[in-house]
Amino acid sequence: MKTVGVIGAGAAGLMAAGRAAERGHRVVIFEKNNTAGRKIRLTGNGRCNVTNVSDMETFISNIPGNGRFLYSSLNLFSNRNVMDFFREMGLQLKVERDNRVFPESDSAEDVVDVLLKYAKMHNVEFMFNSRVDEILAENGNVTGIRLCSGEIWKLDAVIVATGGVSYPGTGSTGDGHRMAEKLGHTIIPLKPSLVPLNVKENWARELQGLSLKNAAVKLFDKKGRILFSDSGEMMFTHFGVTGPLILKASRHFSVSGCRSAFLAVDLMPGLTAEELDKRIQNDLSKFSRKMFKNFLDELLPNLLVPVIVRLSGIPPEKPSNQVTREERQQIVSLLKNLTLEITGCRSFNEAIVTAGGVSVREINPKTMESRLIRGLYFAGEVMDVDAYTGGFNLTIAFSTGYTAGNSV
């Protein structure tokens, strides 16, 4: 029987601790907060999107941050295994839009309770208010940890599950990266991911609160290289743009290293430019006595109308039947290619996950053990792995946590 220390009582840490203890080891969790699962309680707006039931190829395609590294751990403990785990522990689940899985109770607290129950039923010991300062190693082997209080614990293995640096108020402040780097590990630069974006244009702020249920976007740099393209839901805010589609785009902007980029929004993705032009021609004929500014009411949400009118340069009082072909094409261009300049991401305080972390090249994907220090393991967001929204990131935490706990 080994004595195993787990640093961090989040999703990855609790799963790792429970699995290691289930295999007969003495396990101690060291948690800097006074309670477990603080970030879990916030996920999914307090509902906790525990996993996603997409097939494996679709699942991996939703992990832009080193998804291929996770094939082994997901093969051992997949999204289906996550569902089986919670159901066997008494938590009923439901599948919602886009294959997202939630507790039937819509309560993240219930998810934390299950993870705590799993750990406690296998006699995991908890050390709350215990911040780890250093992981100790000699001759390439883990020997223990030193707490910030100065107390030293001798351990046979250590699992680092400290998370990234997003939502620092939950305790994710980069401790694991600092300790891993001190032991020789490479830390891929940390970037906020799944985060709203700031824009330059003042007119975007006039659209605050406007949600586009079906928009298509292309994110490209100043050289015209496309960084991301997809369709979905987005929303304008007082600082720029957000929503599921923008959060996905933010990951690619953040890791690109660009200081600024451009976001082209197609407001009418269901129509080609030619089809939209014909639609506008028909509407101009149908509402020929209307002023141009009023004609657009038939086509766009009310908040968008004055913005499009102003950007088009067409006099708002102009009769619809006097709109020229060139002016009509300008309207089409705006509706199919409304472009915003992205000036940056919001901070880690607003980011759902962290891109970057301990380099996966230095971690064995089959065991989550360090390739540099024997007895040192990693699990969850502390590693350079990150996914889109939809239950993928929590599944990574559960799967890598289980793999680490299964391997010590």
Q: What is the average pLDDT across 312-329?
A: 91
pLDDT 10s digits, 57-78: 999 999 999 999 999 999 999 9
Res. 31 pLDDT band, cuts 50 70 90:
very high
Residues, the chain, total? 408
pLDDT 10s digits, 119-161: 999 999 999 999 999 999 999 999 999 999 999 999 999 999 9
Whether 37 has a pLDDT exceeding 90, the answer reads yes
Q: Are residues 42 and 158 in the same domain?
A: yes
pLDDT 10s digits, 336-359: 999 999 999 999 999 999 999 999
Residue 206's pLDDT is 95
Residue 171's pLDDT is 82
Q: What is the average pLDDT across 297-304?
A: 89
Q: Are residues 108 and 229 in the same domain?
A: no
Q: Are residues 133 and 224 in the same domain?
A: no
Res. 292 pLDDT band, cuts 50 70 90:
confident
pLDDT 10s digits, 78-115: 999 999 999 999 999 999 999 999 999 999 999 999 99
Q: Are residues 298 and 402 in the same domain?
A: no
Whether 245 has a pLDDT exceeding 80, the answer reads yes
- What's the whole-number average pLDDT of the chain? 96
Q: Are residues 313 and 385 in the same domain?
A: no
Percentage with pLDDT > 90 across the chain: 90
Pick from 161-170, 207-216, 222-231: least confident: 161-170
Residue 400's pLDDT is 98
Residue 321's pLDDT is 86
Q: Are residues 313 and 274 in the same domain?
A: yes
Residue keyed to tokens 């902007």 = 253
Task: From 323, 346, 369, give the residue that closes a domain.
Answer: 346
Gap between the terminal Cα atoms of the chain? 10
Residue 61's domain comprises 3-192+353-407
Give me the number of domains the chain comprises: 2
Residue 293's pLDDT is 83
Most confident of 180-184, 316-320, 322-326: 180-184
Distance CA 5, CA 2 (A): 10
Q: Are residues 125 and 221 in the same domain?
A: no
What's the burial of 145, exposed, middle or buried (CB within 10 Å: 0-12/13-18/19+)? buried
Measured in whole angstroms, the distance separating CA 218 from the mean position of its chain's CA atoms is: 19
Residue 295's pLDDT is 81
Residue 314's pLDDT is 92
Q: What are phi and psi of 289, to 5 degrees?
A: -90, -10
Q: Are residues 182 and 98 in the same domain?
A: yes
Whether 307 has a pLDDT exceeding 80, the answer reads yes
Whether 283 has a pLDDT exceeding 90, the answer reads no
Q: Are residues 108 and 168 in the same domain?
A: yes
Q: Are residues 234 and 214 in the same domain?
A: yes
pTM of the entire structure?
A: 0.94
CA dihedral 179, 183, 188, 192 (to 10 degrees): 0
Measured in whole angstroms, the distance separating CA 101 from the mean position of its chain's CA atoms is: 16
What's the burial of 214, exposed, middle or buried (CB within 10 Å: 0-12/13-18/19+)? middle
Q: What is the CATH number of the domain that holds 40?
A: 3.50.50.60
Q: Are residues 221 and 365 in the same domain?
A: no
Task: From 307, 324, 346, give the residue that closes a domain.
Answer: 346
Q: Are residues 163 and 282 in the same domain?
A: no
Which amino acid is located at 37 in the chain? G
* Tokens found for residue 158: 């250590």
Q: What is the CATH number of the domain that holds 259?
A: 1.10.8.50
Distance CA 28, CA 21 (A): 9
* Tokens found for residue 108: 């993240």
Residue 80's pLDDT is 98
Q: What is the average pLDDT across 283-289?
A: 81
